[in-house]
Amino acid sequence: MRVAMIGTGYVGLVSGACFADFGHHVTCVDKDAAKIAALERGEMPIFEPGLAELVEVNFRAGRLAFSSDLAGPVRDAEAVFIAVGTPSRRGDGHADLTYVYTAAREIAAELDGFTVIVTKSTVPVGTGDEVERIIRAARPDADVAVVSNPEFLREGAAIIDFKHPDRIVVGSDDARAREVMAALYRPLYLNAAPLLYTGRRDAEVIKYAANAFLATKVTFINEIADLCERIGADVQEVARGIGLDNRIGRKFLHAGPGFGGSCFPKDAQALVKTAQDHGASLRIVEAMLAVNDVRRRAMARKVAAALGGNLRGRTVALLGLTFKPNTDDMREAPSIALVTALQDMGARVRAYDPAGMEQAKAVLSDVDYCDGPYACAAGADALVIVTEWEQFRALDLDRLRDAMTKNPVLVDLRNIYRPEEVVRHRFIYDSVGRPRPS
**Is the CB of 127 or the CB of 431 nearer to ligand NAD?**
127
Q: How far apart are CA 263 and CA 318, in angstroms?
A: 24
Measured over the CA atoms of residue 117, residue 7, residue 321 and residue 310, the dihedral's sign is negative
How near is the Cβ of 433 to ligand NAD at its closest, in Å?
27
The catalytic residue among 18, 28, 228, 263 is: 263
Coil, helix or strand at residue 79:
strand
Q: Which residue is nearest to ligand NAD (CB)?
A: 9
How near is the Cβ of 327 to ligand NAD at its closest, in Å?
8
Helix (H) or strand (E) holding 170: strand 168-171
Helix (H) or strand (E) holding 431: strand 428-431
Helix (H) or strand (E) holding 118: strand 115-119
Cα maximum dimension of the chain: 76
Exposure class string for 83-110: b at 16+ Cβ within 10 A, else e: bbbbebbeeebbbbbebbbebbebbbeb
Backbone angles phi, psi at 389, to 5 degrees: -60, 145
**Is the CB of 26 or the CB of 263 nearer to ligand NAD?**
263
Q: How far apart are CA 318 and CA 295, in angstroms?
A: 17
Beta strand pairing status for 367-369 and 409-412? unpaired
263 is catalytic: yes
How near is the Cβ of 271 to ligand NAD at its closest, in Å?
12
How near is the Cβ of 152 to ligand NAD at its closest, in Å?
6
| Amino acid making up residue 45 | P
How near is the Cβ of 207 to ligand NAD at its closest, in Å?
7
Coil, helix or strand at residue 75:
helix
**Is the CB of 7 or the CB of 356 nearer to ligand NAD?**
7
**Is the CB of 48 or the CB of 412 nearer to ligand NAD?**
48
**Is the CB of 151 or the CB of 430 nearer to ligand NAD?**
151
151 by Cβ neighbours in 10 Å (0-12 / 13-18 / 19+) ranks as buried
115 neighbors 129 (Cβ within 8 angstroms): no
User: Which residues sit at the interface with ligand NAD, rule CB under 6 A?
Assistant: 6-12, 29-32, 35, 83-86, 99, 102-103, 106, 121-122, 151, 153, 155, 262-263
Q: How far apart are CA 303 and CA 67, in angstroms?
A: 48
**Is the CB of 211 or the CB of 415 nearer to ligand NAD?**
211
How near is the Cβ of 272 to ligand NAD at its closest, in Å?
16
Which positions are annotated as active-site residues?
263
